[in-house]
């Protein structure tokens, strides 16, 4: 469950239904006092200081932002961290070769020396969080334009972050919350040496693949293990053979005691983004325009990748992570659109908007808020596809993205930064060539370009593509690019690069004549013209202002409620209970699934449901060690009503005593609308039971060394 906010909805991140409930809410841990009594009523046995403290070790010191896109948790005093298999997927694929295929076969380091360094992978801890709303808002005025407001916020934030870190190795950033009504500063520490310590094979870590993604009941061992390394002083250091395992401030004890229906459960992590206050107008645009088009484009990209991946193990390894990323949100958008309709989310939004309209009648400062939001969505309906294609075609197809960077090069040259930019773009392009299959890349280019031609209005269509499309010659346009572009192969670019090195001036004009460059540049030029149009900019500014006022007014209207801010990749805590749910009348899904149930899904003819012979042997012999439940079952996954989203992948599920009972990895299909509206009766977090994790490590992977360094509570 990797979550990235895409589309016009990211511009209009209104919050919705953000008041306190035991199950709903992504709470800032440094404001825990607002919820602490309620947490105790639901079974929590910890003090506030044991959960979040600046001066003493606490749970927050075991929570890691894994690579900036997932969450992990420290589970030993030697810096061992646990996250999802799908979070480590790119690293596992990168560490794999045809000879040592860790994706297919798994990997278990039997000692520290065997652990595999993953260049570029980081682990970030939160040192402190503070409220800086007053320092910022006292310098803002109502008559400021949105541009002036943003400039002032950036200026003050820069000063605050500078003061916060001083001469330390820490970093800091300021984020706005409640649509720019509040501001908090986060001080962090990032470790750059993170190594792969263990992973099950894909047949366990990704069992069910796309078919089971976002589904429950589930039977997936979605976990992987990494280790953080530090310098001799336990501080962050670049990779070195002399680095030592990091000694954490706190590591989570691992509980194999199990749980029962109704037991307290909390999830700590870094949820990426939610749109809980998205207006009914935003919901309608997403369901009718944006999401169906994203699904259509991603399906084309997936089909092409699948074709080439089936033909070659090398291609499959090189594109495994990319395919997983595209497939994850292909299915996400299908599910979200379906459940937004099924759960009548737009109607629920309209109910709130009707109340807000009544409130605004007595509070005229809010009278224009909803009309302003509605007008912006009406204005942008015609440009939705342009936004979608820029995201899904230019930014998300690796060949196109690499060429796009060179489209921006001329501006860097004019600013006197051409050499530095060129070197950076070249390095990324060379890295792309190392694993790229150019047949796949150009087939994707042609297929999606034909879709672009059919979908984009003529007044937003580049002349180059319009002419070729009108004549039915888009395929020839792409073939010309494949044959003559300097970007078509590593060898072609190296010839161009040699001329660059011999030239006193950068050959911008030669780039502009390149056929592939021209295709990408023409699409971007039209998109830039759209987004730099004065009316478009004004509409976006209107929306930002309206969003901010809506949230401000909503909190005044329902002043008795405790609101939580939208997710924005900052550290949050959600608490609730381990509970079943009923997807439809007469049917209930229990709180956990078992290995026996999972093995019944085995299909030797479907790679998504392959089962390892060794796992079947362990099941046959009931060789579960100390990890079976009281009924003798090997529990695989379980559900709770915690409130999570993408970015929470890999988050620890913690019991009332602060002990690890699982790692969160997904949400359920029936509540796919949950990023926009929390469905309290059916929304569930799907997690991998820690007992299954330990069973796979010890019995399947025979990595007793990893088990021995954990504090296991029986």
CA atoms in the 13 A half-sphere facing the CB of 123 = 34
Residues 6+ apart with CB under 8 A from 37: none
C-alpha closest to that of 65 among 228, 265, 254, 276: 228
8-state DSSP, 567: P
Cα separation, 535 vs 186, in Å, equals 35
Q: What is the largest CA-CA distance in the chain?
A: 76
Instruction: Report the SS3 class of residue 412.
Output: helix
Q: Residue 206: phi, psi to the nearest 5?
A: -130, 30
Instruction: Single out the catalytic residue among 23, 61, 176, 222.
Output: 222
Q: Residue 286: phi, psi to the nearest 5?
A: -65, -45
8-state DSSP, 700: I
Does the active-site annotation cover 42?
no
C-alpha closest to that of 87 among 651, 595, 659: 651
Q: Residue 75: phi, psi to the nearest 5?
A: -125, 15
Q: What is the 3-state secondary structure (H, E, C) of 469-497?
A: HHCCCHHHHHHHHHHHCCCCCHHHHHHHH
Cα separation, 416 vs 100, in Å, equals 45
Instruction: Single out the catalytic residue among 12, 42, 76, 86.
Output: 86
Cα separation, 711 vs 64, in Å, equals 18
Instruction: Report the SS3 class of residue 218.
Output: coil
Does the active-site annotation cover 610?
no
Instruction: Single out the catalytic residue among 649, 651, 673, 687.
Output: 649
Q: Are 224 and 85 in contact (CB under 8 A)?
A: yes
Cα separation, 469 vs 193, in Å, equals 49
Q: Is 260 exposed, middle or buried (0-12, 13-18, 19+ CB in 10 A)?
A: exposed
8-state DSSP, 565: P
Dihedral of CA atoms 1, 678, 681, 573 in degrees, nearest 10, equals 70
* Tokens linked to 76: 């030993």
* Rg of the chain over all Cα atoms, to the nearest angstrom: 26
Does the active-site annotation cover 675?
no
Known catalytic residues are 86, 222, 649
């Amino acid at each position: 469950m990797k979550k990235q906010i895409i589309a016009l909805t990211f511009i209009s991140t209104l919050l919705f239904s953000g008041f306190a409930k035991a199950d709903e809410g992504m709470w800032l841990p440094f404001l825990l006092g607002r919820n602490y009594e309620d947490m105790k009523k639901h079974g929590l046995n910890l003090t506030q200081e044991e959960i979040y403290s600046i001066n003493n070790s606490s749970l927050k010191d075991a929570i890691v932002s894994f690579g900036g896109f997932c969450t992990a948790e420290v589970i030993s005093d030697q810096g061992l961290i646990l996250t999802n298999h799908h979070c480590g997927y790119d690293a596992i694929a990168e560490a794999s070769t045809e000879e040592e295929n860790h994706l297919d076969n798994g990997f278990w380091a039997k000692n520290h020396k065997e652990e595999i360094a993953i260049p570029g992978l980081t682990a970030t801890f939160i040192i402190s969080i503070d409220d800086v709303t007053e320092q910022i808002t006292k310098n803002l005025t109502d008559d400021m334009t949105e541009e002036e407001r943003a400039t002032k916020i950036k200026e003050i934030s820069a000063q605050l972050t500078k003061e916060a870190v001083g001469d330390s190795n820490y970093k800091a950033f300021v984020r706005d919350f409640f649509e720019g009504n509040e501001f908090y500063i986060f001080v962090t520490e990032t470790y750059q040496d993170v190594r792969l310590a263990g992973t099950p094979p894909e047949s366990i870590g990704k069992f069910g693949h796309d078919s089971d993604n976002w589904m429950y009941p589930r039977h997936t061992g979605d976990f992987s293990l990494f280790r953080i390394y530090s310098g001799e002083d336990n501080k962050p250091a670049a990779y070195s053979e002399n680095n030592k395992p990091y000694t954490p401030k706190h590591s989570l004890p691992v509980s194999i005691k199990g749980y029962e229906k109704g037991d307290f459960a909390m999830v700590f992590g870094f949820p990426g983004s939610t749109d809980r206050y998205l207006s009914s107008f935003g919901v309608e645009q997403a369901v009718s325009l944006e999401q169906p088009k994203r699904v259509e484009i991603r399906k084309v990209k997936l089909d092409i990748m699948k074709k080439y991946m089936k033909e070659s193990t090398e291609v499959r390894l090189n594109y495994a992570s990319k395919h997983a990323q595209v497939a994850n949100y292909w299915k996400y958008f299908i599910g979200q659109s379906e459940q937004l309709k099924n759960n009548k989310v737009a109607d629920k939004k309209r109910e709130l908007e009707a109340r807000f309209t009544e409130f605004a009648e007595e509070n005229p400062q809010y009278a224009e808020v909803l009309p302003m939001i509605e007008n912006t969505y009406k204005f942008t309906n015609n440009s939705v596809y342009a936004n979608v294609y820029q995201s899904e075609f230019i930014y998300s197809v690796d060949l196109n993205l690499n060429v796009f960077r060179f489209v921006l090069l001329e501006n860097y040259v004019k600013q006197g930064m051409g050499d530095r930019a060129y070197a950076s773009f070249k390095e990324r392009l060379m890295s792309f060539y190392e694993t790229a299959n150019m047949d796949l890349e150009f087939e994707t280019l042609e297929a999606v370009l034909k879709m672009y031609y059919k979908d984009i209005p003529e007044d937003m269509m580049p002349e180059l593509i319009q002419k070729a499309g009108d004549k039915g010659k888009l395929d020839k346009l792409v073939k010309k690019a494949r044959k003559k572009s300097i970007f078509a192969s590593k060898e072609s670019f190296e010839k161009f690069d040699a001329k660059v090195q011999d030239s006193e001036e950068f050959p911008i004009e030669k780039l502009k004549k390149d056929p592939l460059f021209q295709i990408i540049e023409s699409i971007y030029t039209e998109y830039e013209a759209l987004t730099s149009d004065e009316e478009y900019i004004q509409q976006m500014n209107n929306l930002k202002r309206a969003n901010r006022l809506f949230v401000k007014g909503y909190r005044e209207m329902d002043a008795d409620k405790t609101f939580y801010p939208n997710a924005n990749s900052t550290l949050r805590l959600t608490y609730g209970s381990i509970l079943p749910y009923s997807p439809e009348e007469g049917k209930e899904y229990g709180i956990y699934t078992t290995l026996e149930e999972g093995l019944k899904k085995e299909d030797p003819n479907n790679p998504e449901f392959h089962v390892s012979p060794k796992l079947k042997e362990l099941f046959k012999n009931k060789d579960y060690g100390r990890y079976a439940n009281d009924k003798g079952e090997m529990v695989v996954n379980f559900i709770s009503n915690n409130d999570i989203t993408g970015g929470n992948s890999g988050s620890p599920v913690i019991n009332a005593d602060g002990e690890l009972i699982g790692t969160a990895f997904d949400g359920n299909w029936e509540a796919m609308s949950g990023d926009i509206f929390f469905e309290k009766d059916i929304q569930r977090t799907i997690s991998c039971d820690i007992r299954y994790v330990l069973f796979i490590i010890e019995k399947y992977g025979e990595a007793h060394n990893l088990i021995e360094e954990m504090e296991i509570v029986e």
